[in-house]
Chain A
Amino acid sequence: MSVNLENFTVMYGDFCAVDHLTLKLPDGVTGLLGPNGAGKSSLIKALLGLVEYSEGGAKIIGNDIRTRGKYIRQLVGYMPEDNCLVPGLTGVGMVQYAGELCGMSRVEAMQRAHEVLYLVGLEEARYRKVESFSSGMQQRVKLAQALVHDPRLLFLDEPASGMDPKGRQEMLDLIVDIADKGRMSILLATHILADVERTCERVVIMHRGRIVEDSRVDEVRKSYSNTFSVKVKTNAAEFYKYLENANCAVKNMNKDVYDVTLPKGTDTKLILKAAKDTGAELRKLVPSVRSLEDVFIKRILEDSGADF
């Protein structure tokens, strides 16, 4: 278990950024998904001790963050969303510095710095000052400084932000490669769903500091495979009543559009039969969820109590 949260709460004054989270994250790559302000960065910062948490507790790789904070920060790599580079240092100097601060010897940190800079594609620019780097290069050097000591757990906060499409692609490929070849668990915080779909085995969706979804990415999609978006023109009330009586979950999403979740062992034939039996004119019958994005929007809207 890489991260274990128990009633974990982060407050900024009266505002609750992380709301009593209880969560167990297994090893592997987990996507922490949520809109801006959902509490993703606050959660990561609180786990690292960069933000004070107000309630509950957390363990990272079996170590209590209250008592073993310094040791945890040695085990963890953190790629922050902010720039947070040390001006005046070269790319290789910056990564070496990070390695030494984590407890590597000078020589080992230097060797490893060259290695990870090569990995992130900065081998040509490694002797340039970090302040002269483009935003994409700064993202890469931030990843390199997080990887230099080969952490057991890697926190990536919006790793592909500010990168061009090619750079973004490379960054995501790199994350997949690190997850495959390395022995570290990764927690990837982002609001870009495609990044999570591409890289993560597991997804935790956060909204307003709460968890609204926590499961494997494939399971999330599967769980919605029996839900259909339905719109009928006439006899709608009888039609939906018929479906409810047939143990379907019916939920009004937007005006005339309803989400119908079919019971196990049934398929769309049940909806067609309902339409036929009630005389309803079926105008729309499509799978409700086609991608993680749909799940995300659905979950966020459900949590907001808004109409779909």
Chain B
Amino acid sequence: MPIFNESYHTWDGYLKERPGTWFVIAKTGVKLAWTKGLIFILIFSIIPFFVGAVKIFLFSKVQDVGIMTPQIKKIVEDVSFFYDFLKGQMFYLILISIFTGAGLIARDRKNKSFGFYFSKPVSFWDYVAGKFFITGAYGFLVTGAPALVLFIIKVLISRDASFLSNYYYLFFSILGSSILSVITMSSVVLAFSAVAQNVRTAAIFFFTFLILPDILRKIFSNVPFIGVFSLTALLKQAQAYIFNVQTPYGFSDISMITAILLILLLSLVILKLKVRTTEVVS
């Protein structure tokens, strides 16, 4: 006698009307993105974190011994230490964005997977939010997360509560600046992924979009405004603005905010046009 027959069995469970279908997409995407290449990037991205942690530790020891010099203080000067750390992590954020984000929508377009998603109770916003979370989560893992851990280490290693009381706002600066970088970078990479039909094209588009304006900025260094066309320059300027340190580029804050908002808006428009919940048959 067979253990069970092969006939169809009904299912008597209950289907939840989930508002968070995006989370199912995000969760699955995060799992799918976890590959050897990504682990490799994550391992490399953690090196600056360890260097930073050692610096904090040594700084506290130097403080204990009482041989603080202006040169030493400059290395771990409280605000610029975190600002510099996040600025340095931009490279890893770009790598992670390309690695996790370039194929997210391009692959679905190539494999005609929109039909799979949108024949289920999945809306445009669920889909985009889910995909966005995948890149965003890994992006935050190399920017905000290590910076926040460094901040906590710094608080714990301090002899008294003076660091926390003087620099508590750094927590929010780290959070704000990394979230802004992650959101902008993820939006752009997803927009390129939606435009391209395959991963490689999306990655090349995205990389060109990042590199070309930077090259132009360096060629026309006497025209500071050209920096608003460079995403990395915009994000570094925004980070400086959030940390309230000397801004590295010559364009105004208003130009920076407007340019970032325009990039976000343009990315959303591209996503809206390319991620069609309904097919367009010509």
Interface residues of chain A, those whose CB is within 8 Å of chain B, are 12-13, 17, 42, 45, 48-52, 70-71, 73-74, 76, 78, 80, 82-89, 93, 97-98, 100-105, 108, 112, 115, 118-119, 145, 147, 149-150, 174, 177-178, 180-183
In chain B, positions 240-282 with a C-beta closer than 8 Å to chain A are: 277-279, 281-282
Pairs across A and B, CB under 8 Å, 21 listed? A12-B281, A17-B281, A49-B118, A49-B277, A70-B123, A74-B120, A74-B121, A80-B119, A83-B111, A83-B112, A85-B113, A85-B116, A97-B28, A98-B116, A101-B121, A102-B120, A103-B17, A103-B18, A103-B121, A118-B6, A149-B11
A85 with B111, Cβ < 8 A, contacts A102-B120, A103-B15, A119-B8 known: yes
Tell me the nearest residue of chain B to A69, going by C-beta. Answer: B121
Judge whether A119 and B6 touch: CB under 8 Å. yes
A84 contacts B113, C-beta separation under 8 Å: yes
By a CB distance below 8 angstroms, the chain B residues around A89 are: 28, 32
Are B11 and A82 closer than 8 Å at their CB atoms?
no
Identify the interface centre among B18, B107, B108: most chain A CB within 10 Å of its CB: B18
The residue in B8, B16, B112, B279 that gathers the most chain A C-beta atoms within 10 A of its C-beta is: B8
Q: Is A13 within 8 A of B282, CB to CB?
A: yes
Q: Which residues 175-206 of B have a CB within 8 angstroms of A? A: none
Q: Residues of B at under 8 Å CB distance from A?
A: 6-11, 13, 15-18, 21, 24-25, 28, 32, 107-108, 111-123, 277-279, 281-282
- Whether A84 lies near B121 (C-beta < 8 A) is no
In the complex, which of the residues B10, B115, B282 contacts A80, with contact meaning CB atoms closer than 8 Å?
B115
Kindly list chain A residues whose C-beta atoms are within 8 Å of the C-beta of B21: 101
CB < 8 Å: which of A52, A87, A147, A182 contacts B107? A87
Known: A150-B11, A177-B7. A78 touches B121 (CB 8 A): no
18 new A-B pairs (CB below 8 Å) besides A70-B121, A82-B112?
Answer: A12-B282, A17-B281, A42-B281, A45-B279, A50-B279, A51-B279, A52-B278, A73-B119, A73-B122, A84-B111, A85-B116, A86-B108, A86-B111, A105-B13, A118-B6, A119-B7, A150-B11, A182-B8
What 7 pairs between A and B have smallest CB-CB spacing?
A103-B15, A150-B11, A78-B119, A101-B120, A181-B8, A84-B115, A84-B116
Given the known inter-chain contacts A101-B117, A101-B120, please indicate yes or no for A74 contacting B108, CB distance below 8 A.
no
Q: How far is the CB of B152 from chain A (nearest CB, A)?
A: 32
Known: A13-B282, A84-B115. A102 touches B8 (CB 8 A): no
CB closest chain-A residue, reference B17? A103
Chain B contacts for A52, CB-based, 8 A: 278
**A182 to B, closest residue via Cβ:** B8
CA of A203 to CA of B15, assembled, Å: 31
For residue A70, which residues in chain B have a CB less than 8 angstroms away from its CB? 121, 123
In whole angstroms, how far apart are the Cα atoms of A70 and B119 in the complex? 9
Give which listed residue, A74, A84, A119, A180, contacts B112 with CB less than 8 A: A84
Q: Is A73 a contact of B121 with CB atoms below 8 Å?
A: yes
- Could you say which of B7, B114, B117, B120 has the most chain A C-beta atoms within 10 Å of its C-beta? B120
Neighbouring A residues of B11 by C-beta, 8 Å: 108, 112, 149-150
Bound CA–CA A149/B281 (angstroms):
30
Known A84-B111, A87-B111, A149-B11; contact A71-B17, beta-carbon cutoff 8 A: yes
What CA separation (Å) do A89 and B144 show in the bound complex? 29
Contact (Cβ within 8 A) B112 A100: no
Contacts of A42 in B (CB 8 A): 281
Instruction: Tell me if A101 and B118 are in contact (CB < 8 A).
Output: no
Distance between Cα atoms of A112 and B107 in the complex (Å): 27
